[in-house]
Amino acid sequence: MTYQHYIIGLIFGLLTTIGASAQHRVDRQVMGSGGGATGNLGHQVSGTLSQAAAGLLSPDGENLAGIGFWHKPFVEADALVRFPVIEAEVGTRVTIPLILDNSARLLRYGPRSFQARVRFNRSLLEPIGGTPRCTPDGDDCVMEISGTVSGNLVDTLARLEFTAMLGNAESTPLTIDTIIWERRGESEFTPRKEDGEFRLLGVCREGDHIRLIRGGGPASRLNALPNITEGPARLDVVTNETGSVHISVVDPLGREASILFDGELEAARLYQLSLDLGSLATGLYFIVMQSESERIVQQLHIRR
């Protein structure tokens, strides 16, 4: 190899690198590799192979081209997780999906786990079935959700089941506080989130109160929160008529163990009663609401 050939090789390598840079982002982590030495009549020239000659450009569709024998391609992944806008009537069962949308290279390195923390007004939505339980935070329910995305990319990360309740508002934001994805080898991951909303149908606000406005008349409701309690609890009550109401706790034998309320209630209005259950032992009980025209019973589990 003559000195002139060496100079021509360097110029060719420089021109090739410039051509690659016009279409790709180049990450120069290693400036040279390989090479060797050659000599003639007592003179020796040492050098390295140019990065343009040694490296491989990344395939189309990647965010960054890698140059060099040991280069690791720069891969950018992202995913949008969102709640939709959902509407339901009081007392009905409602499914709220946590949706995966507009993801890029999410499963490039295989299955990926996630953890999400969401919140909403707990007076409007009562978790049922296999839905995670609430951690109360003021008027909010804070819920932890986790799972793994694998195989064919799904569009629903979780399906949350609730009973829609007559609460202290007509609607509640469905807020994603945090969404954390497992890192799997990409250079950068951008988690994105979008909040949703749950709206009650057939209700209106009158002053500080939320009322039912369904044409068939209001339906009575009796909800103990939490239903399995180890301490203080709250009872949400709605009656279908104005009049005298007696609410008590009875044991499995039908014996009255505690009187929770005895007095007048107004129809279609939400009442929230604080329950002092300290005198009751561990076991299964029933909350019974007796009005002038109907009787409603709900189970209550007490743990000590």
The predicted-structure confidence for 287-296, as pLDDT tens digits, reads as follows 889 888 888 8
Residues 6+ apart with CB under 8 A from 7: none
Find the mean pLDDT for residues 239-249.
90
User: Cα(237)–Cα(200) distance, rounded to whole angstroms?
Assistant: 17
**Residues 96-110, mean pLDDT to the nearest whole number:** 75
Contact 127, 51 (CB under 8 A): no
pLDDT digits (tens, 9 = 90+) for 44-66: 444 444 444 444 444 444 444 44
Mean predicted confidence (pLDDT) in 277-300: 85
- Residue 40 pLDDT more than 70? no
Q: How would you class 120 by CB atoms within 10 Å of its CB: exposed for 0-12, middle for 13-18, buried for 19 or more? A: buried
Please state the rounded mean pLDDT for residues 91-112: 78
pLDDT for the residue 24: 42
**Count of helices and strands (H, E) across the chain:** 2, 25
Contact predicate 211/234, CB 8 Å: no
In this prediction, residues 236-241 reach a mean pLDDT of 86
Which of 76-80, 178-182, 258-262 tops mean pLDDT? 258-262
Mean pLDDT of 17-34: 45
pLDDT over threshold 60, residue 125: yes
Give the pLDDT confidence score for residue 31 in this predicted structure.
Answer: 44
Q: What is the mean pLDDT of the chain?
A: 74
pLDDT tens across 151-183, in order? 665 678 899 999 888 788 889 999 999 988 887
Residue 207 has pLDDT above 90, yes or no: no
Q: How far is CA 129 from CA 163, 224, 250, in A?
A: 10, 16, 25
User: For residue 206, what pLDDT is reported?
Assistant: 64
Domains annotated for the chain, with CATH where assigned, are: 3-72 (no CATH), 77-202 (2.60.40.680), 218-302 (2.60.40.1930)
pLDDT score recorded for residue 68: 47
From start to end of 233-294, where are the E strands?
Answer: 233-238, 243-250, 256-265, 271-275, 283-290
Average pLDDT over every residue of 65-88: 68
The answer on pLDDT for 35 being more than 60 is no
* pLDDT at residue 46, as a whole number: 47
Evaluate if residue 277 carries a pLDDT over 80. Answer: yes
- Measured CA to CA, the distance from residue 299 to residue 126 in angstroms comes to 15
pLDDT reported for residue 60: 40
Please compute the mean of the pLDDT values over residues 2-20 and round it to a whole number: 56
CA gap 122, 142 in Å, rounded: 9
Model pLDDT, residue 5: 59
Distance CA 188, CA 169 (A): 41
**Pairing status of strand 112-121 against strand 171-181:** antiparallel
Selected residue with higher pLDDT from 227 and 237:
237
- Region 1-19 average pLDDT: 56
DSSP state of 134: P
